[in-house]
C-alpha cells in the first residue's frame, strides 16, 4: 500500500514535536519530508542563551541529530527554505528548486525576530537574538569589540545581556518600560531582578526610547529621543517576535496576525495544517513552548485518525518558569493587582525571595515567584483546575513557606496528576511510573523516557527531587553521575572499566554482558562503546562502522542540502603544485560547486553527492583530512624560522611530524593542534586542544584550549627543550585523555573536570606512568589500519561470526 506523504515546512521545535507524536502512533505509515530554513538539524532554541553564556555548545542543544532523521527514514532539506505551495497540485517547491508532493502539509514556520524600524538599523553590528547564526555573530563580535547594547529588557534581552557579559563585553540594557520583564513580573519582583543583575555587571537605561542608531558603516552608538547618546560596538535587538505567516498568506491560506487554525489545527485549505508560533487559535498566537507541544499532540491525532476526534485544542494557560541569569523565576496567569483581586505575599529581602499569589473569587488566578519556585507546580495545578481555596491557609497554598522554611522534598506532597514539566505536559505520576517500571536512575533517563526537562530545563530540580524521593535509599550516586544513555544504568567510566576488566571485545557483546535495556543500543551508546573497545584493545579490535556517525561512515561531512564536503589532508597546512592540480582536476571532473580554504589550512571540496564519494577519494589518492572524525583534525602552523624574521623554531617541520604521527588516531572528540614559531602565536596555538609555542631554545606546550563557541585559552602544561620531548609529552597527554575522558568530551571540558594539575602529576611527574602511556600510544598507532576506506567497509559477516563464538564463551 502506498505510503502517505507528509511534508513539514519548518524544522523547529513545534513541527518536529508533531512529527515525533505522529511516529509514536504510526511509525511506518508515512513518508516524511522536512524543509528547514536553517542549515542545522532540530535544536532547542530556548537554550541558545546557554550557548551564548558558554554553559553549552551547539551540539548539546541539538534535540534530534542527523542520525535521528536517517534512523526514522525522514528526508531533511536543511538550509533549503520552502517558498511556494501549489494547493491544486498539492506540491511544495523550495528555493533550491525541489518539488515535493504531499497528502498532508504541516506549516510550522515559527516567528521572526522583530527589528525596530530605526534609522541606521541596517548597519553592520546590529542584529537580533533568534537563532544559531545570531549567537555565533555575537560570539564573533566579542573577540573584536568591547561595548554591547541590548535593546529590550524582557526575558530574551536579559539572557542575551548575560551571555555578552560572559563574553567579557561591557553590556548595557535599554528598555522602554520603567521596570524589567513587565510581561512576566510585577514591580517588586522586577526591582529585585534589576538589583541582582546590576550586581552581576549589567547596566540599565530604563524608560528610554531609541531614536536612531549612530555610525557610518558599523554601529557606533545609539541616540535616544531625550537627546542623550550611548556608545556601542554591537547592538542586539530583543524586542519581540512576529509570526511568520508570509508563505501561507501568499498561498491563499487565511491569515490574520498568524495563520488561522481551528481546534484541530486545520487551516482554511483542506489537508494543510499549521502548528506553533505561526498559528493563530481563537485570536491568540502562542510564543511559549508548552502550548506549541499541546498543539502538536492534537495535530498528530488529527492526521493519524484521518478525522477530527475529541475536543481538539482548547487553548493554553500561559506561564513562564525559567532561570533568568542565574535566578529562578515563575509567573502565570493574572499576576498584577486588580480591583477584584487579593494577594498572598511573601517578601524576604535577606534571602532574595519574593512570592505573590493572586486570588479572585477564592480561586488562584495568577502568581509570581522570584528566587525560589518550588511551589510553582501546585499553583499551576490550582489555576488549571480552578480550585476553590476557601479555608486553605498560606502554608497549604505555599507549602515551601512552612515553619523554618524547610519544605523537605519538593515533590513529596504533590498529587500524581500535578504537572512536573509544563513544557511537555508531564505529570508526577507519569515520571514515577517510568522510574519504577523502567528502572530509571538519572535525570537524563527520565528526559529520554518521558520528555520531562527536555525543553527549557527549568523543571530539572523537580525531576531530580522526584527521582531521589521515589528511589529513596537506592538513589545513591546515580543522581550525581548521569548514565551513558537511556539504554543502560552505567556511566561512561563504568562501561569503560567493565570492558577492560571483563575483556569484552565486541559492541553487541558489551550490550549483552552489561544487560543493555535495548537490544541494538542507540546513537549515543553505540559510538561510545565502539570507541572504548578500540582504546582497550587497539590491536585486536575491528572497528564497527555501523556504530559510527554518518559523517564518519562516509568519510565526509554531510551538508544542509544532503551533499557532502571532502577535505584531503595537507600536513601542517603545506601543499605543492601536484596536490593542487590533483584537487583541481577532481573538482572539474565531478563539477564540485565550491572550493573553500578552511581555518585549518586545507581545501574543502563542498557539494559532492553521496554516490560520488568513493570515486572522488579514489581519484584524489590523498589521505583524508578527517574533518568529520573524532580524531586529530589539523596541526596548524606558521611559516617558522626559515622564512619569518621573528621565528625562533622550525614550526612547519614539527607540525608536519606531529600530524603524520597521530594521523587517524581515534580520540574522545575532535582534537586540533597548532605550532607557532614564536610567542606572536600566528598559528593560534593558545586556543587549541594542544598548542606548541617556540621560544628561544625551547618549546612551550599549552593544553585544553578551545577556539569554538565555548572559547577557552589553553593553560601552560610544560616547557621542554627538544622536539623529542614535545612528541613524548603529546603522546602521554593524548593517551591519558583517550583513556580517561568520556566519549564526546572535548579536552577543554576534560581539563576543567579533572584539573590540569592532576594531569601534570600523571604525565609529567610520574615517570613510570608517563613511560607506560607513551608505550600504549605507540601500540595504538601501530594498530591503525593503512587504508581507512578498507576499515570503514570491513566485512560485517566476520564480525557476526566472532560475536557468536564469544557469546558461547562469555554469556553462558
CATH of domain 4-110+243-305: 3.50.50.60
pLDDT score, position 667: 96
| pLDDT reported for residue 95 | 95
Per-residue pLDDT band for 786 (boundaries 50, 70, 90) equals low
- Burial label for 209, CB within 10 Å (0-12, 13-18, 19+), is exposed
Q: Give CA torsion, residues 265, 267, 271, 275, to 10 deg.
A: -40
Instruction: Count CB atoms within 10 A of the CB of residue 176.
Output: 16
- Structure-block grid coordinates of residue 64: 534530534
192-206 average pLDDT score:
89
Q: What's the gap between Cα 169 and its chain centre? A: 23
Strand-pair partners of 319? 332
User: How large is the angle between the packed helices 155-166 and 132-142, nearest 10 degrees?
Assistant: 40
In whole angstroms, what is the distance from residue 654 CA to residue 676 CA?
10
| Residue whose C-alpha cell reads 563542498 in the numeric block | 606
Has 459 been labeled as part of a binding site?
no
Q: Determine the Cα–Cα distance for residues 396 and 412; give it in Å rounded to an integer.
A: 14
User: What pairs with residue 584 in β-bridges?
Assistant: none
With 0-12 CB in 10 A as exposed, 13-18 as middle and 19+ as buried, what is 223? middle
Radius of gyration of the chain (CA): 29
Give the three cell numbers for residue 582. 590533483
Give me the pLDDT at residue 792, please: 38
Rounded Cα distance between 61 and 42, Å, is 9
pLDDT band for position 551 (cuts 50, 70, 90)? confident
Q: Residue 172 pLDDT more than 90? A: yes
How crowded is the C-beta side of 327, counted as CA atoms within 13 Å?
A: 26
What distance in Å separates the CA atoms of residue 374 and residue 387, rounded to the nearest whole number?
19
Other CB atoms within 10 A of residue 226 CB = 9
Tell me whether residue 485 is annotated as binding.
Answer: no
CATH class of residue range 126-239: alpha beta
Residue in the block written with cell 603529546 = 730
- Which residue has better confidence, 122 or 454? 122
Residue (of 292, 242, 236, 232) closest to 106 by Cα position: 292
Asked if residue 663 lies in contact with residue 569, where contact means CB atoms within 8 angstroms, the answer is yes
Q: What residue has cell string 550490550?
A: 511
* Predicted local confidence at residue 703, as pLDDT: 96
**Upper half-sphere CA count for residue 437 (Cβ side, 13 Å):** 9
pTM over 0.75: no
- Over 50: is that where the pLDDT of 406 sits? no
Q: What is the pLDDT of residues 5-55, one digit of tens each?
A: 999 999 999 999 999 999 999 999 999 999 999 999 999 988 888 788 766
Q: Which helix (H) or strand (E) holds 78?
A: strand 74-78
Fold match between domain 4-110+243-305 and domain 126-239: yes
Expressed in percent and rounded to 5, the helix, strand and coil fractions of the chain are 35, 25, 40
Q: Can you read off the three cell numbers belonging to residue 422? A: 509544563
pLDDT beyond 90 at 97: yes
For residue 673, what are the contacts with CB-CB under 8 A and spacing of at least 6? 632, 634, 635, 636, 655, 658, 659, 688, 689, 690, 691, 692
How many angstroms separate the CA atoms of 173 and 558, rounded?
39
Backbone angles phi, psi at 102, to 5 degrees: -135, 150
DSSP 609: -
Just give the CATH number of 419-479: 1.10.10.1100
Give the separation between CA 512 and CA 514, rounded to whole angstroms.
6
The highest-level CATH class for domain 319-390 is: alpha beta
Strand partners, 369: 330, 355
* pLDDT cut 70: percent of the chain above it: 92
Of all helices (H) and strands (E), which one includes residue 805? helix 796-810
The burial class, CB within 10 Å (0-12 / 13-18 / 19+), for 5 is middle
**How many Cβ atoms sit within 10 Å of the Cβ of residue 120?**
19
Report d(CA 149, CA 786) in Å as an integer.
54
Q: What is the mean pLDDT of the chain?
A: 87
Residue 762 has pLDDT above 60, yes or no: yes
CATH number of this structure's domain 550-629? 3.90.480.10
Distance, CA of 514 to CA of 504 (rounded, Å):
10
Helix (H, G, I), strand (E, B) or coil at 32: strand
Lowest mean pLDDT among 423-437, 526-540, 652-666, 738-752: 423-437
The pLDDT assigned to 479 comes to 46
Can you tell me the distance from the alpha carbon of 365 to that of 361, in angstroms, rounded to the nearest whole number?
Answer: 9
HEC string of 191-248?
HHHHHHHHHHCCEEECCCCEEEEEECCEEEEEEECCCCEEECCEEEECCCEEECCHHH
**Which of 249, 256, 277, 235 has the alpha carbon at shortest distance from 118?**
235
- The strand pairing partners of 111, in sequence order, are 243
Averaged over 731-760, what is the pLDDT? 92
Contacts of residue 143, defined as CB under 8 A and 6 or more positions apart, other chains included, come to 711
For 680, the grid coordinates are 606572536
pLDDT above 70: residue 407: no
Nearest alpha-carbon partner for 763 in 713, 686, 701: 701
pLDDT digits (tens, 9 = 90+) for 538-549: 988 888 887 887
CATH of 633-793 given 3.30.465.10, 3.40.50.150, 3.30.413.10, 3.30.420.40:
3.30.413.10
644 is in an annotated binding site: yes
Q: How confident is the model at residue 399 (pLDDT cuts 50, 70, 90)?
A: low
Q: Which residues of 439-455 are buried (b: 16+ CB within 10 A; e: fewer)?
A: ebbbbbbbbbbbbbbbb
Phi, psi of 210 (to 5 degrees): -80, 135
For residue 98, give the nearest of 115, 109, 84, 119 by alpha carbon. 84
- Model pLDDT, residue 469: 78
H/E stretch holding 782 = helix 767-782
Average pLDDT, stretch 104-128? 95
Domain-wise residue ranges, the chain: 4-110+243-305, 126-239, 319-390, 419-479, 492-542+795-810, 550-629, 633-793
Q: How far apart are CA 746 and CA 668, in angstroms?
A: 7
Lowest mean pLDDT among 152-161, 443-452, 497-506, 618-627: 443-452
Per-residue exposure over 21-52, b if at least 16 CB sit within 10 Å of its own CB, e if not: bbbeeeeeebbbbbbbbbebbbbbbbbbbbbb
For residue 369, give the nearest of 293, 445, 458, 309 by alpha carbon: 458
Predicted confidence at residue 811, as pLDDT, reads 37
Amino acid at each position: 500500500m502506498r505510503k502517505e506523504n507528509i511534508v513539514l515546512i519548518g524544522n523547529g521545535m513545534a513541527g518536529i514535536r508533531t512529527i515525533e507524536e505522529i511516529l509514536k502512533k504510526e511509525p511506518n505509515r508515512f513518508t516524511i519530508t522536512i524543509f528547514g530554513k536553517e542549515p542545522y538539524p532540530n535544536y532547542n532554541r530556548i537554550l541558545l542563551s546557554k550557548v551564548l553564556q558558554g554553559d553549552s555548545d551547539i551540539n548539546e542543544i541539538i534535540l534530534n541529530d542527523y542520525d535521528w532523521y536517517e534512523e526514522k527514514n525522514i528526508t531533511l532539506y536543511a538550509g533549503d527554505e520552502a517558498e511556494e505551495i501549489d494547493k491544486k497540485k498539492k506540491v511544495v517547491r523550495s528555493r533550491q528548486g525541489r518539488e515535493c508532493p504531499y497528502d498532508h502539509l504541516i506549516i510550522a514556520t515559527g516567528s521572526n525576530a522583530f527589528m525596530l524600524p530605526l534609522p541606521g538599523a541596517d548597519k553592520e553590528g546590529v542584529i537580533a537574538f533568534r537563532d544559531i547564526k545570531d549567537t555565533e555573530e555575537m560570539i564573533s563580535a566579542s573577540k573584536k569589540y568591547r561595548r554591547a547594547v541590548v535593546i529590550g529588557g524582557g526575558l530574551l534581552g536579559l539572557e542575551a545581556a548575560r551571555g555578552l557579559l560572559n563574553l567579557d563585553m561591557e553590556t548595557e540594557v535599554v528598555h522602554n518600560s520603567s521596570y524589567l520583564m513587565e510581561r512576566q513580573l510585577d514591580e517588586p519582583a522586577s526591582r529585585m531582578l534589576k538589583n541582582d543583575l546590576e550586581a552581576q555587571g549589567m547596566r540599565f537605561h530604563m524608560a528610554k526610547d531609541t531614536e536612531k542608531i549612530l555610525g557610518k558603516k558599523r554601529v557606533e552608538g545609539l541616540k535616544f529621543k531625550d537627546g542623550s547618546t550611548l556608545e556601542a560596538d554591537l547592538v542586539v535587538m530583543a524586542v519581540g517576535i512576529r509570526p511568520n505567516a508570509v508563505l501561507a498568506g501568499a498561498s491563499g491560506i487565511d491569515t490574520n496576525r498568524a495563520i488561522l487554525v481551528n481546534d484541530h489545527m486545520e487551516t482554511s485549505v483542506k489537508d494543510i495544517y499549521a502548528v506553533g508560533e505561526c498559528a493563530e487559535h481563537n485570536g491568540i498566537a502562542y510564543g511559549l513552548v508548552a502550548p506549541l507541544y499541546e498543539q502538536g499532540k492534537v495535530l498528530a491525532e488529527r492526521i493519524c485518525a484521518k478525522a477530527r476526534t475529541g475536543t481538539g485544542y482548547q487553548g493554553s494557560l500561559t506561564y513562564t518558569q525559567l532561570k533568568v541569569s542565574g535566578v529562578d523565576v515563575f509567573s502565570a496567569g493574572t499576576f498584577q493587582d486588580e480591583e477584584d483581586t487579593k494577594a498572598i505575599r511573601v517578601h524576604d529581602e535577606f534571602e532574595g525571595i519574593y512570592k505573590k499569589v493572586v486570588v479572585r473569587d477564592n480561586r488562584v488566578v495568577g502568581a509570581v515567584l522570584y528566587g525560589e519556585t518550588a511551589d510553582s507546580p501546585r499553583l499551576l495545578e490550582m489555576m488549571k483546575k480552578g480550585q476553590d481555596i476557601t479555608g486553605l491557609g498560606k502554608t497549604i497554598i505555599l507549602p515551601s513557606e512552612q515553619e523554618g522554611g524547610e519544605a523537605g522534598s519538593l515533590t513529596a506532597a504533590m498529587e500524581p496528576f500535578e504537572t512536573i514539566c509544563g513544557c511537555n505536559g508531564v505529570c508526577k505520576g507519569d515520571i514515577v511510573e517510568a522510574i519504577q517500571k523502567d528502572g530509571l536512575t538519572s535525570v537524563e533517563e527520565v528526559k529520554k523516557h518521558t520528555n520531562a526537562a527536555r525543553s527549557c530545563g527549568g523543571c530539572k530540580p523537580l525531576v531530580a527531587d522526584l527521582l531521589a524521593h521515589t528511589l529513596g535509599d537506592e538513589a545513591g550516586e546515580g543522581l550525581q553521575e548521569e548514565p551513558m544513555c537511556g539504554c543502560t544504568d552505567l556511566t561512561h567510566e563504568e562501561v569503560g572499566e567493565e570492558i577492560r576488566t571483563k575483556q569484552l571485545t565486541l559492541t553487541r557483546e558489551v550490550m549483552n554482558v552489561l544487560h543493555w535495556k535495548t537490544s541494538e543500543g542507540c546513537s549515543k551508546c553505540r559510538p561510545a562503546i565502539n570507541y572504548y573497545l578500540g582504546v582497550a584493545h587497539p590491536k585486536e579490535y575491528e572497528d564497527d562502522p555501523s556504530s559510527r556517525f554518518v559523517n564518519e561512515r562516509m568519510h565526509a561531512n554531510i551538508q544542509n542540502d544532503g551533499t557532502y564536503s571532502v577535505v584531503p589532508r595537507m600536513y601542517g597546512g603545506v601543499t605543492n603544485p601536484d596536490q593542487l592540480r590533483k584537487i583541481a582536476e577532481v573538482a572539474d571532473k565531478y563539477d564540485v560547486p565550491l572550493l573553500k580554504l578552511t581555518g585549518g589550512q586545507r581545501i574543502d571540496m563542498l557539494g559532492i553527492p553521496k554516490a560520488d564519494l568513493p570515486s572522488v577519494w579514489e581519484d584524489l589518492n590523498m589521505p583524508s583530512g578527517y574533518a568529520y572524525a573524532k580524531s586529530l583534525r589539523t596541526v596548524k602552523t606558521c611559516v617558522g624560522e626559515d622564512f619569518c624574521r621573528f621565528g625562533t623554531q622550525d614550526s612547519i617541520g614539527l607540525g608536519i611530524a606531529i600530524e603524520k604521527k597521530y594521523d587517524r588516531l581515534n580520540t574522545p572528540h575532535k582534537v586540533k593542534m597548532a605550532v607557532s614559531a614564536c610567542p606572536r602565536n600566528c598559528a593560534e596555538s593558545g586556543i587549541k586542544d594542544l598548542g606548541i609555542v617556540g621560544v628561544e631554545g625551547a618549546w612551550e606546550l599549552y593544553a585544553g584550549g578551545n577556539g569554538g563557541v565555548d572559547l577557552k585559552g589553553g593553560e601552560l602544561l610544560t616547557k621542554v627543550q627538544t622536539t623529542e620531548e614535545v612528541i613524548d609529552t603529546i603522546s602521554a597527554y593524548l593517551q591519558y585523555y583517550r583513556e580517561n575522558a568520556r566519549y564526546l568530551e572535548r579536552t577543554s571540558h576534560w581539563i576543567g573536570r579533572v584539573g590540569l594539575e592532576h594531569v601534570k602529576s600523571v604525565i609529567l611527574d610520574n615517570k613510570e606512568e608517563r613511560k607506560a602511556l607513551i608505550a600504549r600510544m605507540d601500540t595504538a598507532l601501530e594498530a591503525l589500519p593503512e587504508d581507512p576506506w578498507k576499515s570503514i567497509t570491513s566485512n560485517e559477516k566476520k564480525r557476526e561470526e566472532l560475536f557468536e563464538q564469544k557469546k558461547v564463551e562469555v554469556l553462558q
